[in-house]
Structure 1
Amino acid sequence: MPPIFAEPLTLRPLQVRDYQCLIDQGCFGPEEHIELLNGQLIQMAAKGTRHAAAVSRLARLLGRQLGETVLIRLQDPIALNDQSQPEPDLAIVRPHPLDYADHHPTPAEIHWLIEVADSTLAYDTQTKARAYAQAGLADYWVLDLPGDRLWVFRNPNSAGYGLVMQLDRTQVIAPIAFPDCVWPLADLLPIASDS
């Protein structure tokens, strides 16, 4: 019998409208944490104690300094494009009269994004960084808990970010949107523990 050559399969990426329909139909259990990125459903990693504490700490510190000039959304969806509705750990967005009850924030409404990486550093610094750059997000930070550093991504283009910096706790950072808000990295990074 001659060999059988299968034709390559064509995958159909999900659109945001398909994803929303699946959510509305109750296709995902309440315990599932899923996001849509580049037309694919991504099962998110469970959030451990260090991760949760870091997100809370960042939200508190940013809220204290930026106050009512921004809205800080925690692990809520943003609308990148028709095939991506990720849920960054922190999205620092422009205030909205309805607190975004009528839509998820779009790139034009986002000042900057922060992801906290405990076990997801490669995903956050590669896959997510590329998607955020392609959407034109000018400022993206990844708090690397195991590495005790902050990755800063700037100068977006279609291939990724033109500028990638790794800062340690001896340095300072200011977001592009608020250049006068300068934070020592020691304040943003979790307090080192000996245990």
Structure 2
Amino acid sequence: MLTTEAAFTLRKWTVKEYHKLGEMGFFHPEERVELLSGNIIKMSAKGTAHTSATRRTASVLSHLLGNQAAVYTQDPIALDDNSEPEPDIAVVRIDPFDYATHHPTPSEVYLIIEVADSSLTFDREIKAKAYARSGIADYWVLNVGDRQLHVFREPAENGYQSEVIIGEHGSISPLEFPAFNIAIQAMLPPLVSN
């Protein structure tokens, strides 16, 4: 039986090649892209709920953690030779040179948070697998639409072995900082009545 579909393989990019493309001006200056598992992903536009949740969460974490960790927003993380995502929030080990010579690597990452308004499936499935393969022990997806926090832990090669969903009235402690309890509601945009 003849088939019209031919087998094909996508060409995967390395971080080094991805940086070279950026240096050559391949991406428009305002284009938001990231490299994940060798694929260049165009990031979706940030809505107001996404922006508010990112700001609020970064502020809560910065206030709680003080000088125990650095809180970065939408900065690159070097997972491996084929992945350099830009998570909405990364809580990382403090570097005396403020990561001037390299992006934080998995061994320097305490927590990654993605804020999802239109990207929930992508963040829960594709990004979760990439973070798990890299050994990120604590990965959260803040679902602003359903006002929930998806907590992924126990990373393995094929993904996280644990996912717990916490409603907006619950709270959580980061694995690396169990003394700090964070209200989910403090991370979410406030509900505004019309």
Determine if the TM-score, normalized by the shorter chain, exceeds 0.5. Answer: yes
Structure 1 residue 15: Cα displacement: 0.5
Q: Aligned pairs, how many?
A: 194
Which residue number corresponds to residue 43 of structure 1? 42
Q: Larger RCO: Structure 1 or Structure 2 (Cα < 8 Å, ≥ 6 residues apart)?
A: 2
Q: CA 1:6/1:171 → structure 2, altered by over 3 Å: closer, same or farther?
A: closer
Q: CA 1:62/1:6 → structure 2, altered by over 3 Å: closer, same or farther?
A: closer
Secondary structure of 2:129's counterpart equals: helix
Q: CA 1:66/1:5 → structure 2, altered by over 3 Å: closer, same or farther?
A: same
Deviation per CA, 1:140-187, whole angstroms, max 9, x where unpaired? 001101011000000000111111011002211000000000112222
Which residue number corresponds to residue 97 of structure 1? 96
Confirm or deny: 8 A CA contact 2:56 2:186 kept in the other structure: no
Structure 1 residue 53: Cα displacement: 1.2
Confirm or deny: 8 A CA contact 2:52 2:188 kept in the other structure: no
Secondary structure of 2:123's counterpart equals: helix
2: CA distance, partners of 1:108 / 1:149: 27
Which one-letter code corresponds to 1:164 in the other structure? E
Structure 1 residue 4: Cα displacement: 8.1
Structure 1 residue 193: Cα displacement: 2.1
Q: 1:1-195 residue pairs with structure 2 within 5 A?
A: 7-195=6-194
2: CA distance, partners of 1:75 / 1:95: 17
Name structure 2 gaps, 5 residues minimum: none
Q: Considering only aligned residues, what root-mean-square deviation do their CA atoms show, in Å?
A: 1.5
Structure 1 residue 6: Cα displacement: 6.9
Structure 1 residue 28: Cα displacement: 0.7
Structure 1 residue 5: Cα displacement: 6.4
1: CA distance, partners of 2:150 / 2:5: 43
TM-score by length of 2: 0.95
Which one-letter code corresponds to 2:8 in the other structure? L
Percent of paired sites with the same residue:
45
Moved over 3 A (4+): 3-7
